Amino acid sequence: MSTLEDRVRDAYSMADGWGPAAPPPLRRRSARRNRLRFAAPLAAAAGMTAVVFLAVGLPHRVPDETGPRGTGPLTAPRPSGEAQVAIYLCSKISANPSCHRQEATREQQDAIDAALKKIPQVRRIEYITSAEAYAEAKKQFAGTKIGDTIRPGDIPTSFRVTLRRPADVRAVLEALSGRPGLDQIVTGSR
């Protein structure tokens, strides 16, 4: 049986002078190129993991309920037993196919906010813009590799919802599941 090079040479000769007289030698794919083929998906996965880590693990401003708006500490102490839920809205970088790589509209945001206000188990609702989350991340991770790689828009707009009890998470999931403009709901108490 002839080698691949012989078969390519025969194919060129049968093409009535079409193509070069001698085909170029076949090149093997380099080991470096094979490594690069896997680097892009790994880098994308690492980036998304970092974004989720940053978005979930960041302390956000909680308004001081006794003073004027905006003067509260970064994190307010919560009574024991409370749970917090992060509700991320659709953005251009959302992996959720129902987001269609578009930002959540103002109407969708308002509908999610109204649905949250109707849930009796909700203690407090915070609206955190993408710019606020970015500023907090830059401040928290200043001087680190993560802080140098974060860009505006990497962390989506979200609602931080404080519930009265951890068991109340089910009520939020039932009220918001499948709503347009909703990317994901991350549950857990801090």
The pLDDT tens digits of the residues spanning 113-170 come to: 999 999 999 999 999 999 998 898 889 888 888 888 888 888 899 999 999 888 889 9
pLDDT band at 182 (very low <50, low <70, confident <90, very high): very high
Does residue 2 carry a pLDDT above 70? no
For 10-65, how does the pLDDT look when each residue is reduced to its tens digit (9 = 90+)?
Answer: 776 766 555 556 666 766 666 655 555 665 666 666 666 666 555 555 444 444 33
Does residue 4 carry a pLDDT above 90? no
Residues 6 or more apart from 107 whose CB is under 8 A from it? none
Taking the CA of residue 140 as centre, how many other CA atoms within 13 Å lie in the half-sphere pointing to its CB?
Answer: 18
pTM: 0.56
Burial of 43 (0-12, 13-18, 19+ CB in 10 A): exposed
Pairwise CA distance, residues 87 & 68, whole Å: 26
Does residue 100 carry a pLDDT above 60? yes
Nearest to 116 by CA among 155, 160, 56, 72: 160
120-151: b or e for each residue (b if 16 or more CB lie within 10 Å)? ebbbbebebebebbbebbeebbeeeeeeeebe
pLDDT band at 94 (very low <50, low <70, confident <90, very high): confident
* Residue-level pLDDT at 107: 95
Average pLDDT score over the chain: 75
* Residue-level pLDDT at 1: 54
